[in-house]
A and B are shown apart, each in its own frame.
Chain A
Amino acid sequence: MTSIASRIPVRSRVGTGILIVAALSLGRVVTDHMPGQDRHERPFTTAAKVGQTVHLRTGDVVVTKVDGGKAIATPIEADASPGLWVAIDFTWTPRADTSVLGYKVVRTTTGDTYDSLLGRNVSFCGNSIPGLPESCRMAVEMPPDRMPGAVVDIAPVFDSPGYDSLATVDLGITDETVKKWQARTDVVKIPMNTVGTGS
């Protein structure tokens, strides 16, 4: 019995083998150099300071004030932290669609994150209306020694800000700020959100 392989010349068989190995190697090289998930899902980040307006894809956000202390009081409850609370005021004006600034995460210089939606952290932001500025205050508690240099990442989504624009605002916290907040005896108030500029 003559097999098909034995009818093909040896030179041709070797050539085919080399081509297959080359194609597989090339595929491997391309796959290895494809950007990973963390890279192609990464957000389009705009860095800013307190008071600077960031133009996100779907609206404008500005952090207007940063405050802190050992205790906070919302219209609903009051909480004292064994660490410190950082309270962040911001204003969000959607451009085209009704949206919520759902993603508000404080990130330290070492990469630890403190999400405004988790733990005892608070945030009173509603559904913001296109063209109508909405102001709200969030508060997260964190260890005082991790506060200096921290930033807040803000995006109008709820889960991950991947694929979309993200504001990274430097909170301007220094060692002195932390000492001042630790020495405070009054309570940091967290009001409900306000719609409009109050004019």
Chain B
Amino acid sequence: MTAWLRGNRWGLALVIPALLLALAANSLRLQLFWWTYKPHVATSGVQGKPVHFAEDFDDFDGHWHRALDLTVTSVTTVAAPRDPDGKPIDDARTPAEAQWVKVSMHVAASPTAVLFGCRLSLLDASGRETEYTDGNLVDSDYLPISPCIPDAHQGPVSGGPKAQGDAVEAGPRPAAYDVDAYVLTARGFRPTAVRLQWTPPRYVQIALPTT
């Protein structure tokens, strides 16, 4: 037996790395399945302080880079949302079980950066996540599709030359602007963080002061 072990020592020693290699080779399936679809890579900040967020992303036009400085200036509960012109939305049939949360932000980013299509959500202490949507209760014409850009000057929808040209034609987005987003939540929902994301797994999360 010892002779056999000695005779085969190199083969036996290679069994362990071979097994590890087999496991590692399969791990790409795990990554494909879960990792890239969910927010995992956080850029963290606190309310009132600018946070620099940058990521690379792909779209139908190519590979691009996005960078911005985000400041969440205030998060308050309000009676009704306002449209992008600042007019109160009258026909918001807010039910008794719901409330509106206004998120005020200041954003500084190159007018050519693609900020269209961002997802904004509020998290509470128990991990509940309420996402901004434009189509709840109010006619979706009133609330913007993308909650983090000025509705009148949205900037490009892609990094490609056509989208960039369209954005310039429509009037470029200011290099710095203030924007409010109105999020419908369940009544009593106490946000503890604001989350903004474009392309998972990266996201930016701003902790709110505990009151």
Instruction: Please indicate whether A and B come from the same complex rather than being unrelated chains.
Output: yes
By a CB distance below 8 angstroms, the chain A residues around B188 are 131
User: Contacts A195-B95, A196-B98, A199-B96 hold; do A126 and B129 have CB atoms under 8 A apart?
Assistant: no
Q: Is B143 an interface residue (CB 8 A)?
A: no
Q: Mark A126-137, 1 if CB is under 8 A from B, else 0.
A: 110111110000
In the complex formed, the residue of A with least CB distance to B99 is A132
By a CB distance below 8 angstroms, the chain A residues around B129 are 96-98, 130
Q: Which of A105-150 contact B (CB under 8 A)?
A: 126-127, 129-133
In the complex formed, the residue of B with least CB distance to A96 is B128
Shortest CB-to-CB span from A131 to chain B, Å, is 3
Q: Is B203 an interface residue (CB 8 A)?
A: no
Q: Is A9 an interface residue (CB 8 A)?
A: no
- Report whether A129 and B185 are in contact in the complex, using a CB–CB cutoff of 8 Å: yes
- Report whether A198 and B136 are in contact in the complex, using a CB–CB cutoff of 8 Å: no
Q: Is B184 an interface residue (CB 8 A)?
A: yes
The 8 Å CB contact of B130, one of A130, A133, A196, is A130
By a CB distance below 8 angstroms, the chain A residues around B97 are 131-133, 196-197, 199
Q: Is B186 an interface residue (CB 8 A)?
A: yes
Secondary structure of the B contact surface, majority rule: loop
The 8 Å CB contact of B121, one of A98, A132, A133, A199, is A98
By a CB distance below 8 angstroms, the chain B residues around A97 are 128-129, 131
Compute how far the CA of A199 lies from the CA of B93 in the bound complex, rounded to whole angstroms: 11
By a CB distance below 8 angstroms, the chain B residues around A130 are 128-130, 185-186, 189
By a CB distance below 8 angstroms, the chain A residues around B121 are 98
- Report whether B131 and A199 are in contact in the complex, using a CB–CB cutoff of 8 Å: no
User: Contacts A96-B127, A96-B129, A98-B121 hold; do A129 and B186 have CB atoms under 8 A apart?
Assistant: yes
- Interface range on chain A (Cβ under 8 Å from partner): 10 to 19
Q: Is B170 an interface residue (CB 8 A)?
A: no
Shortest CB-to-CB span from A109 to chain B, Å, is 34
- Report whether A129 and B98 are in contact in the complex, using a CB–CB cutoff of 8 Å: yes
Compute how far the CA of A133 lies from the CA of B97 in the bound complex, rounded to whole angstroms: 9
By a CB distance below 8 angstroms, the chain A residues around B131 are 97-98, 127
Q: Is B135 an interface residue (CB 8 A)?
A: yes
Shortest CB-to-CB span from A58 to chain B, Å, is 11
- Report whether B133 and A132 are in contact in the complex, using a CB–CB cutoff of 8 Å: no
Compute how far the CA of A127 lies from the CA of B136 in the bound complex, rounded to whole angstroms: 7
User: Contacts A129-B184, A129-B185, A131-B189 hold; do A195 and B136 have CB atoms under 8 A apart?
Assistant: yes
By a CB distance below 8 angstroms, the chain B residues around A198 are 95
By a CB distance below 8 angstroms, the chain A residues around B168 are none
Shortest CB-to-CB span from B14 to chain A, Å, is 17
Compute how far the CA of A96 lies from the CA of B126 in the bound complex, rounded to whole angstroms: 9
Compute how far the CA of A196 lies from the CA of B93 in the bound complex, rounded to whole angstroms: 10
- Report whether B127 and A199 are in contact in the complex, using a CB–CB cutoff of 8 Å: no
By a CB distance below 8 angstroms, the chain A residues around B95 are 132, 195-199
Q: Is B12 an interface residue (CB 8 A)?
A: no
Q: Mark B7-46, 1 if CB is under 8 A from A, else 0.
A: 0000000000000000000000000000000000000000
Residues of A within 8 A of B (CB): 95-98, 126-127, 129-133, 195-199
Residues of B within 8 A of A (CB): 95-98, 121, 127-131, 133, 135-137, 184-186, 188-189
Could you give 10 example pairs across A and B, Cβ below 8 Å? A127-B133, A130-B130, A130-B185, A132-B95, A132-B97, A132-B184, A195-B184, A197-B95, A197-B97, A199-B97
Other than A129-B184, A133-B97, give 7 A-B pairs with Cβ distance below 8 A.
A98-B129, A126-B135, A127-B135, A129-B98, A129-B185, A131-B185, A196-B96
